[in-house]
Amino acid sequence: MKIKCILAALALSTGAAHADMSMSFNWGNIPLCTSGKPNRVGNPAFAMKGVPAGTTKIVFKMKDLDVPGYNHGGGTVSVEMSGNGTIPAGVFKYKSPCPPNGKHTYQWTATAKSGSKTLATAAAQRKYPE
């Protein structure tokens, strides 16, 4: 019994209790880009689910999974959100997807934070162009 209580406390302290945070997105109305020279555009709208209570900001980063060394950037959104909600389009700017050779897969990662403490992380990916 004591071990189960310790494991439950450990799971809560490591954020495992919030492993159900998830997100989704659509590219929205960004200009088509296939030149390999990204535009600076506003972020897509993000639909968030399972955001932990106490979240004060969500940090977003985008990565091209086909060229992971290229930094597309992202942004930080100050929020008072828990549960489900939407981060509106255009809150921050980033370098748009812009593969020079066909479709690439891009992944957005969202990290829910309270101060410097990470509460949960979620990721979603889509091809571009679709």
Over the stretch 52-93, which tens digit does the pLDDT of each residue have?
A: 999 999 999 999 999 999 999 999 999 877 778 899 999 999
> Tell me, what amino acid is at 126?
R
Residue 78: both structure tokens together:
């100050």
Over the stretch 11-57, which tens digit does the pLDDT of each residue have?
A: 333 344 445 999 999 999 999 999 999 999 999 999 999 999 999 99
Q: Tell me what pLDDT residue 80 has.
A: 75
Average pLDDT over residues 90-102: 94
Whether residue 6 is predicted with pLDDT greater than 90 in this model: the reply is no
How far apart are alpha carbons 88 and 127 in whole angstroms? 21
Cis amide bond preceding 100, omega within 30: no
Q: Three-class SS string for 55-110?
A: CCEEEEEEEECCCCCCEEEEEEEECCCCEEEEECCCCCEEECCCCCCCCEEEEEEE
Can you say how many angstroms the Cα of residue 110 is from the centroid of all Cα atoms in its chain?
A: 3
In this prediction the pTM is: 0.82
The C-alpha R_g of the chain, in whole angstroms, comes to: 17
Closest by CA to 121, choosing from 129, 130, 109, is 109
Whether residue 2 is predicted with pLDDT greater than 70 in this model: the reply is no
First to last CA, the chain: 52
Can you say how many angstroms the Cα of residue 9 is from the centroid of all Cα atoms in its chain?
A: 27
Q: Tell me what pLDDT residue 5 has.
A: 29
